[in-house]
Amino acid sequence: MARPTLTTIRREITNRNLRWEARALPADFKPRGLGYEPASLQATQAALANAQRLMLTRMPAIFAADRMRQLDNIPTASTTRPRSRTRSAALSSPPSNRPRKFDWRDRGVVGPVTDQMFCGSCVSFAACGLIATQAAIEQAITAPDLSEADSHFNSSHGANCGGWNNNDCLQQAKTRGIVGETDLPYMSAFDSPPVDLPGDDLWRAYVRAIADRNRLIWKITEITAWTGDARKTYIANVGPLICGYTVYEDFDSYNGGVYSHATGDVRGGHAVMVVGYDDDDGCWICRNSWGTGFGGAARADGTGAGYFKIAYGDSNIDNEAFYGCQGAIPPASSKWRGWWTVANGVATADTSVFAASRSRDHLDITVAGTDRGIYTAAWQPAFTDGWRGWWRIQGGVAAPDSSITLVSRSTNKLDAFCVGSDRGIYTAAWEPAFTDGWRGWWRVQGGVAAPGTDVHAVCRSADKLDIFCVGSDRGIYTAAWQPGDTSWRGWWRVQGGVAAPKTSVTAVSRRKDHLDIFCVGTDQRIYTAAWKPGDTSWRGWWPVAGGVAAPGTSVFGVSRGLDKLDIFCIGTDMQVYTAAWQAGDTNWRGWWPVGHFKAAPNSSVFAVSRSADRLDIFAVGQDGGIYSAAWSPGMQKWRGWWRILDGVAAPGTMVTAAVRAPDFLDIFCVGSDRRVYTAAWRP
């Protein structure tokens, strides 16, 4: 059948009392590409279930009114599509957590309109726009311009202009990532000028190589799908979505208003980004990928110049769940320098590197070697040849599955601690006056540590040391030393605290001679206890908010200012959580999720404060990469996670950090080859 004429389209719009305008098409008009295909039933079910999980675990208050309705719309084997809401339901009064209309363009986070030209790559255009906008929302940055060519042609989709589905496209962004448009411009994927495929109006596409691709990619962590009114709640509170719908011939003539199909045959399926909705007009607000000329000039109602409104339920737009993403991970940070190998150090399995700065711009690290011996290396600006070491610290031998921790108790004085091969607690010390090097190992009283745990130390004031460990009975024990002591005092048991297997107790001094300790209990909840001068015993254990930790992980804390505490752990969903306390608080505040980043099993999050009220945290991702996130005053949310260069950590290890001068960061890890690596950052 012939394409409907402008007269026919306008007559049908009038006869049906539709709310959009049609315009004349140029004589040489060639329809832009389409390319949307529905996702599989299994994929849709998984994405909807993931959305339900996030509703319950991360956003329960936001979605309180939508949770059951979302469950009602999860498809089963007998329904190949989610059941969409009627128009009357869509126009009902929204709950308080959702306004009657919303548009992400008003927040300045949506990037420019793009143009897929004559290729069926709409799904990649919609997905790239979605990921870029979500990155802008989460990272408080300008939306990055992502490469649709990398998404569509270099991925599992393959080098062709055929269609795709929203789920598979987002899954590829999650697993392999997407580079920026400047790294692979869209038009570079075609001949110059582009060549049509034989017997087809679509262009011929090619795979193009991208140098150093792994350091250029953006990734996502979460893929979700949403139905019914939950779509609008999500848009108004979290971010945009992408959807598919049926394109009819009259849609090419759209010239503003709220589109509803009037006349003409089906052209195919199309994917777009849904940036908002309007319950008063009963429509979705969408960004197309047919260039800024689509829809005519920009209008006061927000349509035109590449944008359109489409009535709820029209053109099968509500037949498939809308897809969303969260947890945008930026490319590897170019501000970090490294990874440098530290001397010739090679670590044993399941051990991490710990570092201390004993004076400005001086760094020392300790690690267990492949022979379980204790080794150290040092760096300072005068070392023009790099790190020096590895020196073995006396005859120390570490237990399996343990790390050597390090603390500087005053300028140029170092103390190292480890669990020995007999499970006893041992220490060694160094200071410039020791011309013969490190001294020790001395056994610290009768302490015996549980398997898979480390000893952690804190300096609560100059030359005063307190150490903590999990005993063989899983109880929490401490010992102390200060000048004048001829031996360590302790072990004292700290109240009734009992720790989970393969977790350690960590400590923070938030002001002079005040101590706070943290651990994961046998119920996997987070607990804390406190001590200050005048106390005859420790106070606690208090559970910290509702925090529940993943097995095999420890809680690490930091004091970013006087009487301010922040703690971090990996939750049971492998995402990173934080809680905070400061003087005047009657309870801890949190747990707040730090983005949607997912950490590797049997690892922990490490935190430092590089200057007053600034926090940096480090973790190993599920891909083994090293990632960082940051917070400073004035930020409404954490920024990150940034991948740090191309470092890959060994399984079961963590990344640690040291601050050698205000705003100077150095991080350390055991690589996948068991060698010790470091990277550095400065303003």
Coil, strand, or helix at residue 630?
strand
Domain boundary among 292, 326, 360: 326
Contacts of 586 (CB under 8 A, 6+ apart): none
Backbone angles phi, psi at 211, to 5 degrees: -70, 140
The CA distance from 682 to 513, in Å, is 31
Reported as a single tens digit per residue, the pLDDT across 303-319 is 999 999 999 999 999 99
Helices (H), 201-309: 230-237
Most confident of 67-76, 254-263, 426-435, 620-629: 254-263
Range of the domain at 164: 6-23+32-326
Spatial neighbors of 583 by CB under 8 A, at least 6 apart, are: 562, 563, 564
**314 and 342 belong to one structural domain:** no
Q: Are residues 585 and 669 in the same domain?
A: yes
pLDDT surpassing 70 at residue 95? no
DSSP 559-605: EEETTEEEEEEEBTTSEEEEEEEETT-SS-EEEEEEEEEEBPTT---
302 and 411 assigned to the same domain: no
Same domain, 318 and 365: no
State which of 307, 326, 345 marks the end of a domain: 326
Cα(310)–Cα(278) distance, rounded to whole angstroms?
A: 10
Q: Are residues 309 and 363 in the same domain?
A: no
Give the pLDDT mean for 325-341. 88
The predicted structure's pLDDT at residue 324: 98
Instruction: Give tens-digit pLDDT for 1-11.
Output: 688 999 999 99
Assess if residue 1 is contained within a domain.
no
In a domain, 85, yes or no: yes
Could you tell me which of 451, 428, 435 has the C-alpha nearest to residue 376? 428
> Is residue 501 very low, low, confident or very high in pLDDT (cuts 50, 70, 90)?
very high
Residue 580 lies in a domain: yes
Let me know if 324 is exposed, middle or buried by CB neighbors in 10 A (0-12, 13-18, 19+).
buried
| Buried/exposed code over 56-74 (b: 16+ C-beta within 10 A; e: otherwise) | eebbeebbeebbebbeebb
Q: How many CA atoms lie within 13 A of 326 on its CB side?
A: 22
Q: Are residues 322 and 341 in the same domain?
A: no
Structure-token match 């399941």, residue found? 350
Rg value, the chain, Cα: 29
pLDDT over threshold 80, residue 93: no
Distance, in Å, from the CA atom of 235 to the CA atom of 324, rounded to the nearest integer, reads 9
CA 443 – CA 431 distance, rounded (Å): 19
Whether residues 531 and 677 share a domain: the answer is: yes
In angstroms, the CA 508 to CA 510 distance is: 6
Q: Which residues pair with 459 in a beta bridge?
A: 465
Residue 568: strand pairing partners: 556, 578
pLDDT at residue 373, as a whole number: 94
Q: How confident is the model at residue 69 (pLDDT cuts 50, 70, 90)?
A: low
CATH number of the domain to which 141 belongs: 3.90.70.10
What are 182-227's pLDDT values in tens digits?
999 999 999 999 999 888 889 999 999 999 898 899 999 999 999 9
DSSP code string of 100-167: SEEEGGGGT------B--SSS-HHHHHHHHHHHHHHHHHHTSPPP-B-HHHHHTSSTT-SS---B-HH
Q: Indicate the SS3 state at residue 89.
A: helix
Q: Domain ends where: 326, 347, 377? A: 326
429 and 478 within one domain: yes
Which residues on adjacent β-strands are paired with residue 365? 355, 377
Give residue 78's pLDDT: 39
Residue pair 440/429 in contact (Cβ under 8 Å)? The answer is: yes
- How confident is residue 81, by pLDDT bands cut at 50, 70 and 90? very low
Give 72's pLDDT tier (boundaries 50, 70, 90).
Answer: low
Q: Tens digit of pLDDT for each residue in 135-144? A: 999 988 899 9
pLDDT tens-place string over residues 17-48: 999 999 999 988 999 999 999 999 999 999 99
**pLDDT score at 297:** 96
For the segment 321-333, the average pLDDT, to the nearest whole number, is: 92
Q: What is the pLDDT of residue 82?
A: 39
* 88, part of any domain: yes
Res 472 pLDDT > 80 = yes
- Cα–Cα nearest to 330, from 221, 219, 183: 219
Tell me the pLDDT band of 445, cut-offs 50, 70 and 90: confident
507: Cα separation from own chain's centroid: 26
Distance CA 298, CA 320 (A): 29
Is pLDDT at 585 greater than 60 in this prediction?
yes
Provide the 8-state DSSP code for 315.
Answer: G
Most confident range (mean pLDDT) of 156-160, 441-445, 494-498 is 156-160
Strand partners, 417: 405, 427
> CB under 8 Å to 414, separation ≥6 — which residues?
356, 358, 364, 406, 407, 408, 429, 430, 431
Q: Label residues 299-321 b or e (16+ Cβ within 10 Å = b).
A: eeebbbbbbbbbbbbbbbbbbbb
What pLDDT sits at residue 77?
43
Compute the distance between CA of residue 616 and CA of residue 632 in angstroms, rounded to an integer. 9
User: What is the pLDDT at residue 90?
Assistant: 40
Beta-carbon contacts of residue 391 (< 8 Å; ≥ 6 apart):
375, 376, 377, 437, 438
Work out the mean pLDDT of the chain and round it to a whole number: 92
Q: Check: CB of residue 628 under 8 Å from CB of residue 616.
A: yes
111: confidence class by pLDDT, cuts 50, 70, 90: very high
Are 295 and 377 in the same domain?
no
Looking at the fold, whether 432 and 555 belong to one and the same domain comes out as: yes
User: Is 91 contained in some domain?
Assistant: yes
**Beta-carbon-side half-sphere exposure of residue 260 (alpha carbons within 13 Å):** 15
pLDDT at 71: 54
Domain assignment present for 494: yes
**Does residue 332 lie in a domain region?**
no
H/E run at residue 557: strand 556-561
Q: Is residue 548 part of a domain?
A: yes
List the CATH number of the domain containing 522.
Answer: 2.120.10.70
- pLDDT at 85 (0 to 100): 38
Cα-based distances in Å from 430 to 343, 355, 365? 20, 14, 13
For 352-396, the pLDDT digits (tens) are 999 999 999 999 999 999 999 999 999 999 888 889 988 999 888
User: In the structure, what pLDDT confidence band is assigned to residue 96 with cuts at 50, 70 and 90?
Assistant: low
How many other CB atoms sit within 10 Å of the CB of residue 667? 26
pTM: 0.82
For residue 73, the model assigns a pLDDT of 60
User: Mean pLDDT over residues 581-610, rounded?
Assistant: 93
Mean pLDDT confidence for 262-283: 98
Shared domain for 520 and 619, answered yes or no, is: yes
Number of Cβ within 10 Å of residue 388's Cβ equals: 14
Instruction: Identify whether residues 519 and 570 lie together within a single domain.
Output: yes
pLDDT tens digits, residue range 526-558? 999 999 999 888 998 899 988 899 999 999 999
Residue 89 has what pLDDT? 37
- How many domains does one find in the chain? 2
Does 236 score more than 50 pLDDT? yes
